[in-house]
Amino acid sequence: MSRRALASLLTLVLVGAAGCLYPGAEVAYVQTPHAVVDEMLRLAVVGPSDVVYDLGSGDGRVVIAAARDFGARGVGVEIDPKLVAESTESARRAGVADRVTFRTGDLFQTDLAPATVVTLYLSPELNLRLRPKLLRELRPGARIVSHDFDMGDWPSAQTLSVHFRERGSLLRLWIVPRQS
Ligand SMILES: C[S@@+](CC[C@H](N)C(=O)[O-])C[C@H]1O[C@@H](n2cnc3c(N)ncnc32)[C@H](O)[C@@H]1O
């Protein structure tokens, strides 16, 4: 491909991504593939006693999978109300409406205290801004799993490299420590 064609393609991709950015959203809507969602929930060892919060929940797939396939309860927080409506309808169709909730709102304004597991697919900058809130509000032992992005100099407890349709993803797990 010529440089010019490559530049045009890049512009299209960037404009397309910007077009997906809901007002107030700090990252665009990009879905985690279902197979990768499954690996994220396995990495956090999600089970029936867990409450899984997906911050920036998109179409609700992470929270719905946590309830349907792992028996957990879950909450999705998403700034785009259309995606929240779609998530609520998908949860009803998946038969998990009684165990999941989707809220329209800003993830930074969400109380995280009830969560035992938090899942993220945001950006390195947002993860870093979120880190003090996660450490302040989550209970010791709570698990955080991030698709692709790190948490600055907070080393992860475990990483998992997954491949899906020729795209590699790196999943990271952190455990909230006891307050010192
Ligand atoms: C990359 S998508 C991830 C969607 C889903 N978690 C997944 O893994 O498939 C990030 C989502 O975060 C939402 N978002 C961005 N900024 C937000 C904010 N401040 N509060 C709540 N949601 C936000 C976007 O609208 C988008 O749907």
pLDDT tens digits for range 111-157? 999 999 999 999 999 999 999 999 999 999 999 999 999 999 999 99
Q: Where are the beta strands (DSSP E) in 81-155?
A: 100-104, 117-120, 143-147
Q: C-alpha distances in angstroms, 95 versus 88, 112, 155, 157? A: 11, 25, 37, 34
- Which pLDDT tens digit goes with each residue over 1-35? 444 444 334 434 443 444 568 999 999 999 999 99
Q: What is the pTM of this model?
A: 0.90
Ligand 1 pocket: which of 38, 75, 79 to mutate (most atoms within 8 A of CB): 79
Ligand 1 neighbourhood includes 121 CB (under 6 angstroms): yes
What backbone phi and psi angles, to 5 degrees, belong to 24?
95, -20
DSSP H or E segment with residue 171: strand 167-175
Tokens standing for residue 13: 């991709």
Ligand 1 neighbourhood includes 87 CB (under 6 angstroms): no
